[in-house]
Amino acid sequence: MATIEECRAALEKLSDNMRGAEGDVGAAAALERSVSCHITDLDVTFAGRMTGGRLAVERTLPGPPSERAQIRLAMAGDDLLALVDGGLHFATAWGQGRVRLEASLLDLFRLRKLL
């Protein structure tokens, strides 16, 4: 099972990947939105913002998200690590119910370029 520190490091790596993106992916990464990522097996939530082409984690909270972010993710820690490292494709994980993503319809269309 992934640790909180490994999950935070994976989110930082994702942020670094987003910052270097170009074209349509770069445009999708440039969204200004509140974000939460609930790690279900650890019952911890990373909350922050997508801003300036990066994902900035501002808080780590126990349990599910206390506030409704504009973009909400939920998954197991091992799945987060596999997604960021490229060992698991987002569409596959989402189709299998291993990842949940909630956002406005417009944001979902934009985010699909990142995923």
DSSP state, residue 113: T
Determine the pLDDT at residue 42: 98
- CATH number at 75 reads 3.30.1050.10
40: nearest Cα among 87, 7, 89, 86? 7
Determine the pLDDT at residue 83: 94
Tell whether pTM > 0.95.
Answer: no
Please give the structure tokens belonging to residue 35: 């974000």
80: nearest Cα among 33, 32, 39? 39
Q: What is the domain range of residue 79?
A: 4-111
* Helix or strand (DSSP H, E) at 45: strand 44-51
* Helix or strand (DSSP H, E) at 56: strand 54-62
- The pLDDT tens digits of the residues spanning 28-54 come to 667 899 999 999 999 999 999 998 888
Determine the pLDDT at residue 19: 78
43: nearest Cα among 63, 68, 66? 63
The stretches in the chain having pLDDT less than 50 are none
The total of structural domains in the chain comes to 1
